[in-house]
Amino acid sequence: MARRSKKSEPETLRKQLLALITNFEHRLADDSLREQVLSLIQANHLLRDLGSSLMHEEGCNSARDRILAYLLKYPRVVIHGDELMVVAGISEYARRIRELRVQFGWSVLSGTTLKEMIEQDEMTLEELQARTMTFLKTDVYALMTTEQDREAALRWNEANVLRRSKLSTKAKILTYLRKNVGRPVTGEELRYLANDSKEWARRTRELRTEEGWPIATRNSGRPELEVGAYLLEEDRQAEVHDRKIPDPVRVAVLERDHHACRNCGWSHARKTANDPRTFLELHHIEHHADGGENTLDNLITLCNVCHDDVHRGKVSGDALLYLLKGD
């Protein structure tokens, strides 16, 4: 059985380690290879004990506890696996991160997942307090929120079943999002569904930008969402003519309209349990079929109820133009 690191007073451990390293000079000169190796075992144990003893928080008794405490100190900051190995006092830190993610519901994303989200404009380097993507590899991690998601274990079980199905990557992602409509899921979950294929982020984006599924992220118009989260707002596709609105245009319209319906003023912050208004959509003032373009001047933000009223003729195009000109 692998030895567990033992917490102690860091200064005491430092002195013991220093003494061992100092005495190792004589072993290099006089001892056999095996005696040299055996003497380094104790130094290795002391070094691990020192690393795990740096975490002073109450309850940090296991490697998993220490990894979580360290990540909670630095949310949304890219942490190298070697850092986690030091504070954990074990080399199998990756297994403990998976446990935190899958069993305990902590949103810990790998560097690979972060990189693939940035490439699809679902996240920015600035949000990770980083300057370059070159170090975003498998052995780096970031805790995206300090809130624990207690439903995550159930979702990961669903993801595991769906992952083994014969559906396409895009179909797996859509099925999973529809099972969790109205509930945020992480990019790590979607990447797992795709059997760790790098195409998962592009396929998820296509579901929104080409097929009209209202999949929101922090950078696509829902700034209150956590970085790294995806949310299927409603289990329905947009009308065909509304499916090709580019993300930059969509975000610009939402920001101009302060993320609220221009007709009734509803926003996600005002969402209540029995309110039929559940999400925001963009509407073409000059209909797309009549040559209306996907431009800031031709789009307006409406809640799903007001949008339906417009298409039923209860709200006129002139009324919408008046709302826009009221800026």
Enumerate residues 6+ apart whose C-beta is below 8 A from 41: none
Do the domain assignments include residue 129? no
310 found inside a domain = yes
The single-letter code of the amino acid at 317 is: G
In a domain, 285, yes or no: yes
Tokens of 279: 């999400």
Tell me how far apart the alpha carbons of residues 287 and 317 are, in angstroms, rounded to a whole number. Answer: 10
Considering its fold, how many domains does the chain have in total? 2
The phi-psi region of residue 175 (left if phi > 0; otherwise alpha if psi is between -120 and 50; otherwise beta) is: alpha
Residue 131's CB is within 10 A of a number of other CB atoms, namely 9
Cα–Cα distance for residue pair 281/301, rounded to 1 Å: 6
Give the pLDDT of residue 292. Answer: 82
* Pairs from 267-274 (Cβ < 8 Å, separation ≥ 24): 268/222, 268/224, 269/224
pLDDT value at residue 240: 78
Is 44 domain-assigned?
A: yes
SS (H, E, C) the chain: CCCCCCCCCHHHHHHHHHHHHHHHHHHHHHCCHHHHHHHHHHHHHHHHHHHHHCCCCCCCCCHHHHHHHHHHHCCCCCEEHHHHHHHHCCCCHHHHHHHHHHCCCCCEEEHHHHHHHHHCCCCCCHHHCCCCCCCCCCCEEEECCCCCCCCHHHHHHHHHHHHCCCCCHHHHHHHHHHHCCCCCEEHHHHHHHCCCCCCHHHHHHHHHHCCCCCEECHHHCCCCCCCCEEEECCCCCCCHHHCCCCHHHHHHHHHHCCCECCCCCCEHHHCCCCCCCCCEEEEECCCHHHCCCCCHHHEEEEEHHHHHHHHCCCCCHHHHHHHHHCC
Does residue 263 lie within any of the structural domains? Answer: yes
Q: Are strands 215-216 and 229-232 parallel, antiparallel or unpaired?
A: antiparallel
Residue 94 in domain: no
Domain boundary among 23, 38, 54: 54
pLDDT at 143: 97
Confidence at residue 226, expressed as pLDDT on a 0 to 100 scale: 92
Domain that holds residue 247: 242-327
Exposure string of 165-201, with b = 16+ CB inside 10 Å and e = fewer, is eeeebbebbbebbeebeeebbbbbbbbbbbeeeeebb
Q: How does pLDDT run across 163-181, given as a tens digit for each residue?
A: 999 999 999 999 999 999 9
| pTM score | 0.79
What are 2's two structure tokens?
A: 């692998």
Is residue 97 included in any domain, yes or no? no
Residue 12 lies in a domain: yes
Whether the Cβ atoms of residue 175 and residue 167 lie closer than 8 Å to each other: yes
Can you give the pLDDT at residue 78? Answer: 95
Q: What is the pLDDT along the chain (327 residues), one digit of tens a residue?
A: 566 777 788 999 999 999 989 988 888 888 889 988 988 998 888 888 898 888 877 778 889 999 999 999 999 999 999 999 999 988 889 999 999 999 999 999 999 999 999 999 899 999 998 888 888 988 999 999 999 998 998 999 999 999 999 999 999 999 999 999 999 999 999 999 999 888 999 999 999 988 999 999 998 888 889 999 999 999 989 877 777 788 899 999 999 999 999 999 999 888 888 999 988 999 988 887 777 888 999 999 999 999 999 888 887 777 787 777 765
Token digits of residue 225: 């969402």
Residue 67, both tokens: 């990894």
Of the three residues 38, 54, 70, the one that is the final residue of a domain is 54
Token readout for 265 is 């003023």
The separation between the first and the last C-alpha atoms of the chain, rounded to the nearest angstrom, is 69
Q: So what's the pLDDT on residue 1?
A: 52
115: CB partners within 8 A, 6+ apart: 133, 136, 137
